[in-house]
Amino acid sequence: MGKKFCISSLASIITGALLVASVILSSGCDFTDSDSSDLGFMPAMSGTEAGIVLDAGDIEFYTVPSSLPSGDHGDIIKYREAEVNIPGAPSVNAWNVMYYSTDSLGVPNIVTGTVIVPTKLWSLFSNRPIIAYAIGTHGLCQTCAPSVQMKAGLDYESENLAQILNQNYAVVITDNPGYTIDAIPTYMSGKAQGHSLLDMVTAAGKLSPANLSKNAKVAIWGYSQGGQTASFAGELQPAYAPDINLVGVAAGGVPADFFAVAPYLDGKNGSAFLLSTVIGLWSQYPEGIPLPDLANAEGMAAIAEARTMCVFEALFTYMNTPLSTFVTGNTPFEELVAIPSVNETLDAQTLGRSPIEVPVFMYHGTSDEFIELEQCLKLKERYCDLGVNTTFMVFAGEHITTQFQASPYVLNWIAQRLDGDEAIGTCGNPGWRPQTTANPPEGDFIVSLNAWALDAVVHLKTLMQRVTLPSTSTFTCDNNMTTKKLTGNMEVPEFKANINVILPLQVKMIITGVGDSPLTGDVNLDENGILHVHGHMMTDIRIQSITMLGIPIGTYVHTKDPVDFPIDFDGPISALGSGKLTFTGTTRFSSMTGNWLFNGLFTSLMSGSGQTFEFTVSPPSPILW
């Protein structure tokens, strides 16, 4: 068919099926601030996703031109200067690009993406490296596309992008296939995603204002859906894009085997991902996933509704809903998988059948409640058996926290590859195997922080002194995202603190939680990926012993009433794993009691309002496997 793009009948088939459902709910996927029905491909939709409405310029850019030039995969169709709002990033120049790619069936398709280049100069003696960043699940609505989310300053992966850009690397992000106007994302179609990422790199090298070399060193990085994309891109690169100077692939939380991953999602916390996968694979493989023949009326309504949602809204909407709910006759998942065409389609997404010719860094959270740990361990073993130089790291986090907990380690590994250092893999027999510590994947969705490091400082107002808690202090909590309730505690070992009055006193201090659950409150993850935590940590502060000039002079005074440390945070979900989960505030210490000789002294020194504090919670260190 040459390389000229042809509009596939697939979009028409799927759009027709959605129209049959005649249900487009008002949860919102607005494409324009005018009547969406004017676009002629979908009925008008009220509301907006994440407050985003595409303006006329955006609609024009994401609309495939009616007349297209001939082109090969990786060729640019059009581009424009882009606005990207990435908190914490340096000054950058950015462009949106529409380019040719290839879907999972080898058919040419058209994809959009973003190229971001720091304004700070790179070395005069080498080419600026490129990080091809494969995004995780964003949702099926067009406004969920990373290029749209970054313009609005709402992309939940901004933390990772900022870290890349602060290393002065260029970063390229594909939206993945299906985010042009009048298209359906081919979500979780591994080859299509891998092709689109590789072609995004090629297109960036052809974007003259970006001034990126076609010979630049390239590293690929992705997590979750992005981990699948990164792995497929690595496997496909030697044959599909051999001119890319690939030096390493980092892939975390990888759904490597759908036959293992899907049952872990079906009817459980991650049910939304399975529903989206069915829609995405149907979009790419209409004969393999005969959805119009399988879906019941409730299923067709869910398909229409899911098309209007981004990831976090969909996550809570379909949580713990079995796929059989949406299937004629409520056919269970294991019978659906046994349908030959379905089985073949799922099998086509299996990773680890082809080697990656550059070093690979894999990582996973031992508490992952969405992507099963064991199937990812097996992918590492398959790569090792194929001779791939593979390093595997496990983190004490669940799916969301691990994504950001791992970032510094990933970037350090990537920097070593870009510097030409030899990768020392972990394919030898380690003598142990990581075991899951995940909360039950069904029922309430609970994000647990188990004995995470607590870096805490309390500023005593009257003394104008700061008391630093021991470095071995820990913070434990359960964030129940279903009930939106927070419970937990902090553990602070007995420690010594110096208090300077007329003569320096040294006190041995103990801070303990009060009650069965000293930490209580509310927690919420909104549709924009913003975490809201509002609670109270009730503690008892005890002076166990007092010495002056090394001479014991008294023991045991403590706050008469519990000290209430307000635990408040409103910020990106990335803070859960990035070490940026910080609680600051002001509290009041009650009068002191317990030893009549010293009650008055320590009441005057430590009690009263205006005591400030800063608590920062960060994850445990990972382990190589």
- Boundaries of every domain in the chain: 7-36+47-418, 446-624
The per-residue pLDDT for 602 is 86
Average pLDDT rounded to a whole number, residues 475-487: 96
- Closest by CA to 366, choosing from 391, 401, 397, 393, is 397
Question: To the nearest whole number, what is the mean pLDDT of the chain?
Answer: 90
Q: Using CA atoms, how far apart are residues 115 and 219, in angstroms rounded to an integer?
A: 15
pTM, two decimal places: 0.90
- Closest by CA to 246, choosing from 350, 88, 357, 347, is 357
Average pLDDT rounded to a whole number, residues 169-185: 97
The per-residue pLDDT for 30 is 45
Local confidence band at 259 (pLDDT 50, 70, 90 cut-offs): very high
Interacting residues of 482 by C-beta distance below 8 A, sequence separation 6+: 319, 443, 444, 445, 446
The per-residue pLDDT for 503 is 64
**Which segments of 137-176 does DSSP mark as H helices, in order?**
146-152, 158-166
Cβ–Cβ under 8 Å, residues 95 and 76: no
- Chain segment 299-322, per-residue pLDDT in tens: 999 999 999 999 999 999 999 999
- Closest by CA to 211, choosing from 291, 137, 118, is 118
The per-residue pLDDT for 29 is 61
Q: Using CA atoms, how far apart are residues 28 and 51, in angstroms rounded to an integer?
A: 9
Decide which of 3.40.50.1820, 1.10.760.10, 1.20.900.10, 3.40.640.10 is the CATH code for 7-36+47-418.
3.40.50.1820
Q: Which residue has the higher pLDDT, 502 or 386?
A: 386
Measured between its terminal Cα atoms, the distance across the chain in Å is 47
Interacting residues of 25 by C-beta distance below 8 A, sequence separation 6+: 304, 305, 308
HSE of 45 in the Cβ direction (CA atoms, 13 Å)? Answer: 30
- Give the range with max mean pLDDT: 54-58, 275-279, 545-549: 275-279
Q: Give the DSSP H/E element, type plus range, for residue 51.
A: none
Which stretches of 462-580 are assigned E, i.e. beta strand? 465-468, 474-480, 485-491, 495-500, 504-513, 519-525, 530-548, 551-559, 563-572
The per-residue pLDDT for 496 is 87
The least confident of 19-33, 165-179, 240-254, 258-272 is 19-33
Q: Which amino acid is at 201?
A: V
- Closest by CA to 407, choosing from 368, 360, 375, 361, is 361
Q: Using CA atoms, how far apart are residues 392 and 377, in angstroms rounded to an integer?
A: 8
Angle 492-495-498 from CA coordinates, rounded to 5°: 130
Two tokens, residue 109: 């398709």
